[in-house]
Amino acid sequence: MSTNTTSTTKTAGIHHITAFVRNPQQTTDFYAGVLGLRLVKKTINFDAPEVYHLYFGDDAGSPGTIITFFPWAESRKGRVGGGQVGITSYVVPVDAYSFWRERLVRLGVEVQETERFGEQYLQFTDPDGLRGEIVAREEGALSKWSFGGIEAENAIKGFGGAVLFSTEPALTGKLLQEVMGLEKVGEDAGYARFKSFGEIGNIIDVNVEAMAPGSGGSGTVHHIAWRAKDDAEHEVWRNHVANSGYQPTPIVDRQYFNAIYFREEGGILFEIATDPPGFAKDEEAAHLGEKLMLPEWYEKHRTEIEKMLLPFTVRELEGI
């Protein structure tokens, strides 16, 4: 690694991960009903207002906990592969691993147990084929959210990290270190591990052997977003990414954060998103996710937009 391009700008870790699915109720039943996450925002895809954008996370939708979805019934089925986040990792408290194994099995979710870097993983796929896994770790604050038979002491704390499936893993690894400011900590079981300084969303594994490209569609991740601490740092990030040879978009207002996007050499779409203002911007903290929230530029089309969206509810699963 050349030292003259080593990053002085460092991300704390993952801000959010965004994926394509087909049905809002099915997705809510899995991410709220099974995994116990909170729906913290019900809005629309600002680039396609006929599609929901659903955000799930901890009680506040803190950066590092947010998994988001674009549910679209007619979406073609994607294929998980190179150029994508392959597996999203959720972190639970150290004593909660067996709770989660038992819960997933009882709810009919097929699990596979695997090990890497000396850690035990419970791997599963969601109803659309998105791959997820649960890992237990000491670091990361306990969740304050309790839902569907999951006490806060067992609840998912946020992302443990992600497994990136790269078509050019050496270049993806170099980007993580030299541009994003992560540190390589080792290799095991066919993965290189990188770590950021945050307490959650901080451990990124990248396949060592190049992977054949996947294809986008339901059941695949669209992009992974990394944290910038505020708007000032976001400007620095944009220059830093551009000066490192990537082509970031202009800064886009995503209502709950500002965003830039760029594609890396391994095919994965990266976003850098600001921690502020967050999800309490337009709803009270106690009522996050309860109403369809629209940015003001779409408010005048609310009636037409609501007609295009399938109604769904956050509900506890039967027989938990």
Q: Which residues bind Zn ion (CB under 5 A)?
A: 18, 225, 271
Nearer to Zn ion, 180 or 225 (CB): 225
- Burial of 44 (C-beta count, 10 Å sphere; 0-12/13-18/19+): buried
Closest separation in Å from C-beta 258 to Zn ion: 11
Closest separation in Å from C-beta 20 to Zn ion: 12
Nearer to Zn ion, 218 or 274 (CB): 274
Closest separation in Å from C-beta 45 to Zn ion: 10
Nearer to Zn ion, 18 or 196 (CB): 18
Cα diameter, the chain:
58
Closest separation in Å from C-beta 264 to Zn ion: 15
Q: Of 224, 219, 216, which Cα lies nearest the Cα of 67?
A: 224
273 neighbors 224 (Cβ within 8 angstroms): no
240 contacts: CB under 8 Å, gap ≥ 6: 7, 9, 179
Q: Of 89, 91, 75, 79, which Cα lies nearest the Cα of 24?
A: 75
Nearer to Zn ion, 175 or 259 (CB): 259
Nearer to Zn ion, 18 or 274 (CB): 18
Closest separation in Å from C-beta 86 to Zn ion: 18
74 contacts: CB under 8 Å, gap ≥ 6: none
Closest separation in Å from C-beta 39 to Zn ion: 17
The arrangement of strands across the sheet holding 38-45 comes to 38-45, 48-57, 66-71, 14-21, 220-228, 269-274, 258-263, 252-253
CA torsion through residues 115, 117, 118, 121, sign = negative
Residue with tokens 């591990």: 193
Closest separation in Å from C-beta 225 to Zn ion: 4
90 neighbors 161 (Cβ within 8 angstroms): no
DSSP of 91-144: EE-GGGHHHHHHHHHHTT---EEEEETTEEEEEEE-TT--EEEEEE-S-SPPP-
Nearer to Zn ion, 124 or 256 (CB): 256
Closest separation in Å from C-beta 271 to Zn ion: 5
Nearer to Zn ion, 16 or 193 (CB): 16
Closest separation in Å from C-beta 150 to Zn ion: 26
Length of the chain: 320
Nearer to Zn ion, 11 or 18 (CB): 18
Please give the Cα distance from 33 to 307 (Å, whole number). Answer: 25
Nearer to Zn ion, 69 or 121 (CB): 69
Please give the Cα distance from 80 to 88 (Å, whole number). Answer: 12
Beta bridge partners of 113: 122
